[in-house]
Every structure is written in C-alpha cells, then in structure tokens.
C-alpha cells in the first residue's frame, strides 16, 4: 500500500469512528430522530477535516469533493443508530470511538497539511485542529461545554500525536509504523489523562 493510500484509508477509518461517536453522543444528548442523528454524525466526522482544509486554503474541502467521506460518515451514523443496543455492551463506546477519531485525525491531518505545503509547525497545529474540530462542533451543536475545555487532556494528546507524526516523517520514519506510534501515543495519553 502506498503512503497516499494508507493516508486515505486511515482518514476514512477516522471519519467512521467520529461519525459513530457523534451519533452515539446525539442519541444520549437529546431526543433526536434518524435525521438528526445522521446530521450530527456527519458534522462530527467531517467538521475537523473541513476546518483543516479551510485553514489550509485547499478548497473545496476533500470531504466535499470525494463522495467516500460522506458515504462512510453516513454509514457510521447509521451503524450507531441501529447498532446502539449492541454497542452498549462495549464498556464505553463513545470514549473509544472519540479516542480513535482523535488519534487517527491528528496523524492524517498533519500529513495532509504537509502534503499541501504547510511548514512543520503549521502541520502540527492543523493536525490538532483536524482532530479536535469535529468533536468541538459536536459539543457546540448539542450544547455541551466542549471536551477540549473540560476534558483534561484532549488538545494535548492531539498535539503530541501530530508532533510525533511530523517529526518522525522528517527523520525518515516509515508510514505505517510511524502512524501507529503517533496515533498510539495520542490514544494512550488521552485514555491515561482521564
């Protein structure tokens, strides 16, 4: 698998995880019907990447020109809507899917920023924005104080993961192991920080 394909796959997995997370949060937060659940799942999943693309100036955002994003996000939300009773058996489905999205997006977001010509510092910031943006939009829409403000370590793991991904890439580290190390560090710090 080429680095570009790896990036696309990880990004779509992140989209799925955040759509699941947004839809599960939606169902807990308010009396939403199918349409509301899908809308919140899609916004959570695509919001962070769209914000990154807007700040990069690479417009229209990838999530608007590539139909796989919207398709995967809708699927994630529908899985959450119909699979809700099964997912509840997992100990903390919202925490897990949120952490997965955070870890994947800080890695893919910084790589996409580097590819678009951003410097290393900007790439770290934009990786964190990709990771944090969707969840923050989700919280604002369901009227919660955003996790980034109250959740202890939330921005810091995303910044750590993005920093490892950018620094490792400059040191010549390989695609998949580097992505695992960066995303894993982000996830570990996020889960430990709670």
Query: Which residues, 6 or more positions from 16, have their beta carbon under 8 angstroms from its beta carbon?
Result: 45, 72, 73, 75, 76
Q: For a second copy, give the closer residue by CB, 151 or 173.
A: 151
Query: Which residues, 6 or more positions from 112, have their beta carbon under 8 angstroms from its beta carbon?
Result: 7, 11, 49, 52, 56, 62, 126, 130
By CB under 8 A, which span of 7-15, 52-60, 160-168, 171-179 interacts with a second copy? 52-60
Among 40, 107, 114, 162, binds a second copy (CB under 8 A): 40
For the four alpha carbons of 32, 100, 111 and 71, in that order, the dihedral sign comes to: negative
Residue with tokens 């962070």: 48
User: Residue 100 Cβ, how far from a second copy at the closest point, in Å?
Assistant: 21
Under the binding rule (CB under 8 A), the answer on residue 45 touching a second copy is no
For residues 74-92, b (16+ Cβ closer than 10 Å) or e, as one string? Answer: bbbbbbbbeeeeebeeeee
Under the binding rule (CB under 8 A), the answer on residue 118 touching a second copy is yes
Binding mask 120-159 for a second copy (x = CB under 8 A): -xx--xx---------x---xxxx-xx-xxxxxxxxx---
Among 10, 17, 24, 50, binds a second copy (CB under 8 A): 50
Q: Is 119 helix (H, G, I), strand (E, B) or coil?
A: coil
Residues that bind a second copy (CB under 8 A): 26, 30-33, 35-36, 39-40, 50, 54-57, 59-61, 64-65, 67, 70, 118-119, 121-122, 125-126, 136, 140-143, 145-146, 148-156
């Amino acid at each position: 698998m080429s680095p570009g394909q790896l990036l696309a796959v990880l990004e779509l997995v992140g989209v799925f995880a955040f759509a699941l997370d947004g839809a599960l949060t939606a169902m807990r937060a308010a009396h939403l019907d199918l349409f509301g659940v899908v809308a919140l799942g899609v916004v959570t999943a695509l919001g962070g990447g769209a914000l990154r693309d807007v700040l990069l100036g690479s417009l229209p955002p990838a999530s608007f020109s590539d139909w796989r994003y919207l398709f995967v996000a809708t699927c994630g939300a529908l899985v959450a809507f119909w699979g809700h009773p099964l997912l509840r058996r997992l100990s903390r489905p919202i925490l897990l899917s949120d952490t997965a999205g955070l870890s994947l997006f800080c890695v893919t977001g910084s790589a996409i920023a580097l590819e678009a010509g951003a410097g290393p510092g900007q790439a770290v910031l934009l990786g964190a924005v990709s990771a944090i943006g969707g969840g923050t939009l989700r919280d604002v829409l369901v009227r919660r104080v955003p996790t980034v403000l109250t959740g202890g370590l939330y921005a810091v793991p995303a910044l750590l993961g993005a920093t490892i991904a950018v620094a490792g890439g400059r040191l010549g580290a390989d695609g998949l192991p580097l992505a695992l190390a960066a995303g894993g560090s982000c996830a570990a710090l996020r889960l430990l920080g709670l």
